[in-house]
Chains A and B, each alone.
Chain A
């Protein structure tokens, strides 16, 4: 168990809908990262937050947004969902900017 928690574990929704994925980092970790894992794209970095501030941005669609709250938990919002958004979404956390990232169990999203 990495200490990173993600909810929900599974999510089934329809095209055009909006969902929110939640992540709680390990105790004491200030950085949170979001990744998308799909069969055709592999593991793709989406976005990083450090102590509430956005620090790095990867291949994140404009339909997706994220934030990190004062208690350091993070939420990833996915809107106007498309079939191709079906994937495993991972959250990771690290103490600071250069430390090892520890991954949560992921949220499996299925868009029908």
Chain B
């Protein structure tokens, strides 16, 4: 079965500094990996995904993620954090074949960007 781990419950970073939110995964076959962000009282918003191709994936709001197959990681990064980036971040892996699918989500990492 597919699984996702986000080893940090909380990440604190100062505004303007680079940020990293960590994700490791366990899948059988090729991984389909996703990052979503959840703001308070809002639904999940799609940030980016890795299906195949370049290991560095660029997404919305200046975020990017680095896929590392040997380390089974898919860390989310941003060169310069904004206070408005403070939110709950979820890593997810697609589970399923050609017939049906679902996403397996990590437990989430709360990012706090301090002014």
Contacts and interface: CB of A to CB of B under 8 A. Distances in A.
A56 B94 CA distance: 12
A66 B90 CA distance: 25
A107 B43 CA distance: 10
Interface residues of B, number: 23
A55 B96 CA distance: 10
Contacts of B101: 31, 48, 55-56, 97-98
A56 B36 contact: no
Given A43-B90, A45-B103, A45-B104, A97 B98 contact: yes
A33 B49 CA distance: 18
Given A43-B90, A98-B32, A98-B94, A103 B43 contact: yes
A65 B103 CA distance: 19
Which residue among B42, B101, B106 has the maximum number of chain A CB atoms within 10 Å of its CB?
B101
Contacts of A50: 100
Given A42-B107, A100-B49, A106 B43 contact: yes
Contacts of B102: 33, 45, 48, 56, 58
Kindly list the 8 A-B residue pairs having the minimum CB-CB distance in the complex, ordered from nearest. Answer: A56-B100, A55-B100, A45-B102, A43-B105, A103-B44, A103-B43, A105-B43, A56-B102
Interface of B: 32, 34, 36, 42-46, 49, 90, 94, 96, 98-108
